[in-house]
């Protein structure tokens, strides 16, 4: 009986590891390729990712009764508004989400508080939508958009990977035990070093024309702080809702939201740090 349970757990671990490799093998070239293309191809990818992530978010927060239709429409409007008109139109997309949520809540028959329902609906759109817009904004930087977007993506992936490895190998001191018991200070330090190093490597070729070495290191430091905050933000929401993963679409990786939570914070942080250093 016990041996069977152990075999089952081991099988699940192997299956999760295999699914992780498949997701990386398929997803990494797809994301990097569409970031390279930019424009509408990237918008289509990020909109699809946004809808999947929002679906998972609303699944997690179902007890709060989010107005799902308003959220989907609001996300589509917000992403389209940025693609067509830039940041100035994003506020319009977010306000449309509030208006739609309020209108549909008014005709709904649920007893949930309007403040909670509308607030949950708008939170999902703002968090996921603005984070994805951050990546589009990075890609839209004149002359250096590909480099900037790649720097943020690769730095966060590198930091997340090394934080996981270091945390598993030597992690002893909990980073935020009440929010995410698996994260350690040792992993955070390892992830920070990897994030800064990856940022430096990606941007080194353009040190004399885009960001200087010092600016690249500061960008890496900002990403190293923002990415774990994004991860912890989602962990806090999952703990509040009593769920382990946002979904199982990506097998061992969990849900789509589990994969992009760090990037949602890092993309916005990266864009504004670059904006501070270089005239976009």
Cα 222 to Cα 93: distance, rounded to the nearest angstrom: 28
Cα 14 to Cα 201: distance, rounded to the nearest angstrom: 33
For the chain, strand residue ranges (E) read 174-176, 180-184
Helices 145-170 and 213-241: angle between axes, nearest 10 degrees = 60
Tell me the pLDDT tens digit for each residue of 19-39.
667 767 777 889 999 999 999
pLDDT at 204 over 70: yes
Question: What is the per-residue pLDDT for 3?
Answer: 41
Q: What is the pTM of this model?
A: 0.89
Name the residue ranges covered by the structural domains of the chain: 1-37, 38-140, 141-280
Question: What Cα–Cα distance (Å) separates residue 196 from each residue in 131, 199, 264?
Answer: 21, 5, 18
Q: Identify whether the C-beta of residue 271 lies closer than 8 Å to the C-beta of residue 137.
A: yes
Side-chain-side CA neighbours of 6 within 13 Å: the count stands at: 3
Please compute the mean of the pLDDT values over residues 46-59 and round it to a whole number. Answer: 96
Question: What is the per-residue pLDDT for 275?
Answer: 95
């Amino acid at each position: 009986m016990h041996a069977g349970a152990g075999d089952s757990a081991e099988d699940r671990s192997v299956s999760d590891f295999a699914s992780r490799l498949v997701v990386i093998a398929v997803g990494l070239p797809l994301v990097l390729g569409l970031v390279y293309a930019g424009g509408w191809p990237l918008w289509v990818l990020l909109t699809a990712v946004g809808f999947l992530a929002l679906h998972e978010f609303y699944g997690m927060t179902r007890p709060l009764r989010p107005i799902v239709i308003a959220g989907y429409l609001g996300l589509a409007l917000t992403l389209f508004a940025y693609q067509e008109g830039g940041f100035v139109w994003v506020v319009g997309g977010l306000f449309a989400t509030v208006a739609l949520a309020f209108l549909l809540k008014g005709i709904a028959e649920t007893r949930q508080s309007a403040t909670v329902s509308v607030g949950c609906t708008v939170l999902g759109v703002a968090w996921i939508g603005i984070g994805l817009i951050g990546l589009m904004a990075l890609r839209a930087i004149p002359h250096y958009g590909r480099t900037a977007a790649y720097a943020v993506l690769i730095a966060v992936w590198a930091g997340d990977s090394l934080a996981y490895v270091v945390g598993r190998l030597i992690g002893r001191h909990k980073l935020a035990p009440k929010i995410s018991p698996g994260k350690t200070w040792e992993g955070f330090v390892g992830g920070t070093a990897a994030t800064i190093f990856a940022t430096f490597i990606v941007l080194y070729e353009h040190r004399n024309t885009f960001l200087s070495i010092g600016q690249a290191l500061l960008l890496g430091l900002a990403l190293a702080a923002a990415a774990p905050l994004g991860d912890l933000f989602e962990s806090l929401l999952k703990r509040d809702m009593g769920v382990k993963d946002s979904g199982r679409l990506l097998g061992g990786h969990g849900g789509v939201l589990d994969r992009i939570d760090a990037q949602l914070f890092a993309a916005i942080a990266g864009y504004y740090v670059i904006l501070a250093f270089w005239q976009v």
